[in-house]
Structure 1
Amino acid sequence: MPFCNVGTQLPSPVADVPLNNDIKIFYRTYGGGPTKVLLIIGLAATHEAWGPQIKGLTGATVPDDVVWSEEEGNGGIHVCAFDNRGVGRSSVPVEKSEFSTKIMAKDAIALLDHLGWKKAHVFGHSMGAMIACKVAAMVPDRVLSLALLNVTGGGFQCFPKLDQQTISVAYRFLKAKTPEQRAAVDLDTHYSQEYLEEYVGTDKRRAILYQQYVKGISTTGMQSNYGFDGQLNACWAHKMTETEIEVIKSAGFLVSVIHGRHDIIAQIYYAKRLAEKLHPVARMVDLHGGHLVSHERSEEVNQALFDLIKASKVNMSPHDWTNLPKKESWWKEKRVLIRTNIQAGSNVSLNCCMLEKLHLFLLYLFGLLVLAFEYGRKLLGSLKPAQAGGSPSYIESQ
Structure 2
Amino acid sequence: MPYCVVTAAAVAGGEQEEVRIFYQRYGHGATKVLLIIGFAGTYESWAPQVKGLTGAVEPVDEEAPADDGDDSGAAEGVEVCCFDNRGMGRSSVPAQKSQYTTVIMAKDALALMDHLGWRRAHVFGHSMGSMIASKLAAMAPDRVASLALLNTTGGGYQCIPKEYLEEVIGTSTRRQMLYQEYVKELDRIRFAGFLVLIIHGRDDVVAQLYRARRLAQKLQPAAKLVELHGGHLVSHERPAEVNMSLMEMMKASKSNTDLEEWSNLPNNSDGLLLSGSASCLTKRDDDRVNYLVFTYNLLGKLQLIFLFIFGVFYVILEHVRRVVRILKPVRVSASTL
Q: Structure 2 length as normaliser, TM-score? A: 0.68
CA contact (8 A) 2:218 2:275 kept: no
1:123 aligns with 2:154: no
Mapped contact 2:150–2:198 kept (Cα < 8 A): yes
Structure 2 gaps of 5+ residues are 10-14, 65-73, 161-177, 292-337
- The residue aligned with 2:42 is 46
- Aligned positions of 1:333-372 closer than 5 A: none
The answer to whether structure 1 residue 287 and structure 2 residue 228 are counterparts is yes
Alignment of 1:50-129 (within 5 A): 50-64=46-60, 75-129=76-130
Aligned to 1:246: 187
What's the C-alpha RMSD, in Å, of the aligned pairs? 3.5
CA contact (8 A) 1:39 1:123 kept: yes
Alignment equivalent of 2:202, drawn from 239, 248, 261: 261
Q: 1:274 aligns with which of 186, 209, 215?
A: 215
C-alpha distance after superposition, 1:64-88 (max 9, x if no partner): 179xxxxxx9920000000000100
Provide the rounded CA distance (Å) in 2 between the counterparts of 1:78 and 1:246: 29
CA distance in 2, matches of 1:152, 1:240: 17
How far apart in 2 are the matches of 1:307 and 1:89?
Answer: 32
Q: CA deviation at 1:21?
A: 3.2
* Residues 1:29 and 2:30 are matched in the alignment: no
The residue that corresponds to 1:219 in the other structure is none
Partner of 1:6: 6
Superposed displacement of residue 238, structure 1? 11
Q: Which residue, 222, 239, 261 being the options, matches 1:320?
A: 261
- 1:79–1:101 CA distance, 2 compared to 1 (3 A): same
Q: Is the 8 A contact 1:29 1:79 kept in 2?
A: yes
Cα 1:309–1:335 change in 2 (3 A) is closer
Distance 2:34 2:276 in 1: 44
Structure number having the greater helix percentage = 1
Task: Note the alpha carbon deviations across 1:91-129, whole angstroms, 9 max, x for none.
Answer: 111211111111100000000000000000000000000
CA contact (8 A) 1:85 1:104 kept: yes
Distance 1:282 1:48 in 2: 27
The one-letter code of the counterpart of 1:287 is L
Distance 1:238 1:46, change over 3 A: farther
SS in structure 2 at match of 1:245: helix
1:137 counterpart residue number? 138
After superposition, the Cα gap between the structure-2 partners of 1:238 and 1:85, relative to the gap in structure 1 and judged at 3 Å, is farther
Q: Label 1:20 to 1:257 Cα distance change in 2 as closer, same or farther (>3 A).
A: farther
Shift of 1:158: 5.0
What do residues 175-230 of structure 1 show as CA deviations (whole Å, max 9, x unaligned)?
A: xxxxxxxxxxxxxxxxxxxxxxxxxxxxxxxxxxxxxxxxxxxxxxxxxxxxxxxx
What amino acid maps onto 1:47 in structure 2?
Answer: Y
Q: Distance in 1 between matches of 2:203 and 2:264?
A: 21
Q: Given the superposition, is the C-alpha separation of residues 155 and 55 from structure 1 closer, same or farther in structure 2, using an over 3 Å criterion?
A: same
Residue type of the alignment partner of 1:294: S
Instruction: Please state whether the residue corresponding to 2:7 is helix, strand or coil.
Output: helix
Q: Match of 1:45, SS?
A: coil
How far the C-alpha of 1:154 sits from its partner, in A, is 3.7
Native 8 Å contact 1:154 1:238 kept in 2: no
List structure 1 runs of 4+ shifted beyond 3 angstroms.
154-159, 237-240, 332-337
SS at match of 2:123: strand
Deviation at 1:274, TM superposition (A): 0.7
Q: How many residues align?
A: 253
Q: Which residue is equivalent to 1:391? A: none
Distance 2:4 2:113 in 1: 10
Contact preservation (8 Å) 1:36, 1:78 = yes
C-alpha distance in 2 between matches for 1:36 and 1:336: 38
- Give unmatched runs, 5+ long, in structure 1: 10-18, 67-72, 160-236, 338-347, 360-398
Contact 1:101 1:238 (8 Å CA) reproduced: no
Change (3 A) 1:275 1:334: closer
Q: Distance in 1 between matches of 2:140 and 2:92?
A: 24
Tell me, yes or no, if the aligned pair for 1:31 and 1:77 is still in contact at 8 Å: yes
Matched, 1:310 2:311: no
Distance (whole Å) between structure 2 residues aligned to residue 7 and residue 275 of structure 1: 34
TM-score, scaled relative to structure 1:
0.58
> Is the 2:37–2:125 contact (alpha carbons within 8 Å) kept by the matching residues of 1?
yes
**Cα deviation code 1:273-296 (max 9, x no counterpart):** 111110000000000011100000
- For 2:21 and 2:79, how far apart are their aligned partners in 1? 19
Alignment check: 8 A CA contact 1:100 1:238 kept: no
Highest RCO, 1 vs 2 (Cα 8 Å, sep ≥ 6):
1
* Equivalent-residue separation in structure 2 for 1:335 and 1:46 (angstroms): 36
Deviation at 1:62, TM superposition (A): 1.0
Query: Could you tell me how far 1:153 is from its partner in structure 2?
Result: 2.4
